[in-house]
Amino acid sequence: MLKKQNQFSLRNYAWSILIAFLSAGWFYPTIGLMAIVCMAAPIVVAAFSGKRKWCALFCPRGIFNDVILKKITRNVKPPAFLISTAFKIVFFVFLMANLILGLADANSIAEAGLVFVRLVSVTTAIAIVVGFYYQHRAWCGFCPMGFLASLTIRWKQMSKKKRHKNITVNKLEQLQEDKLHEKKAS
C-alpha cells in the first residue's frame, strides 16, 4: 500500500523531468543526448517485459500527459486516422528522417544534443496540442517510440508462438518415430 502511494506521489512530480530537460537543454544542448535513453527505454523494456511498462509507468512525457494534460484536456476521442498504422508509419519516417538529417549536419556533440532538444520540444508541443484538443494521452497513440515498443512486443509474441509451434512439431515427429521403432521391434 505504502509502495503504491510512493509510486503515485513520485509520478505526481516526475513530469518535471521533461520540463527540466527542455529548459536546461536550450542552454546546455549537450543535455539533449539524454533523450536517447528515453527513446530507447520503451523498446528495451518492451523487449524484456513483453509489455509497454515504460509507457505506462516511467516515461516522463507519458507522466506529463497523465498529470498535467489530464487537467486541461477536452477529452474528445481522437480521429481514427491519428492512430491508424499508416499515419504512425508516415509520422515515424518523418521524425526519424529529420533526426538523422539533423545529426548528419551536426558538427559537435552540443549540436547533436541540440537536434534532440529541438525534436523533444516540437514533439512536446504536438503532444500538448493533441492532448488538449483530444485526450490527454492522444500523443501516445502515434508516438514513434511507443509504436516501436508495440512492434517489439508483437515480434516477441510471434517468435514465441513460432518457437512453441516448432517444439510441438518436434515432439510430434519424435512421437511418430518412437511409434515406428516400437512397431519394427514388435
Residue span 28-47 as binding mask against ligand SF4, x where in contact by CB under 6 A, dash where not: --------------x-----
Choose between 85 and 108: whose C-beta lies nearer to ligand SF4.
Answer: 85
Measured between its terminal Cα atoms, the distance across the chain in Å is 65
Among 59, 117, 119, 138, indicate the residue that binds ligand SF4 (CB under 6 A): 59
Taking the complex as a whole, the smallest distance from the CB of residue 62 to ligand SF4 amounts, in Å, to: 3
Does 136 help bind ligand SF4 (rule: CB under 6 A)?
no
Residue 69 burial by CB count (10 A; 0-12/13-18/19+): exposed, middle or buried?
Answer: buried
DSSP three-state, residue 33: helix
Does 148 help bind ligand SF4 (rule: CB under 6 A)?
no
- Single out the segment in contact with ligand SF4 by CB under 6 A; choices: 10-18, 71-79, 101-109, 142-150: 142-150
Distances (CA, A) of 60 to 21, 25, 46, 63, 181: 10, 15, 16, 5, 62
All three cell numbers of 153: 512486443
Does 61 help bind ligand SF4 (rule: CB under 6 A)?
yes
* Binding stretches for ligand SF4 (CB under 6 A): 42, 55, 59, 61-62, 139-140, 143, 145-146
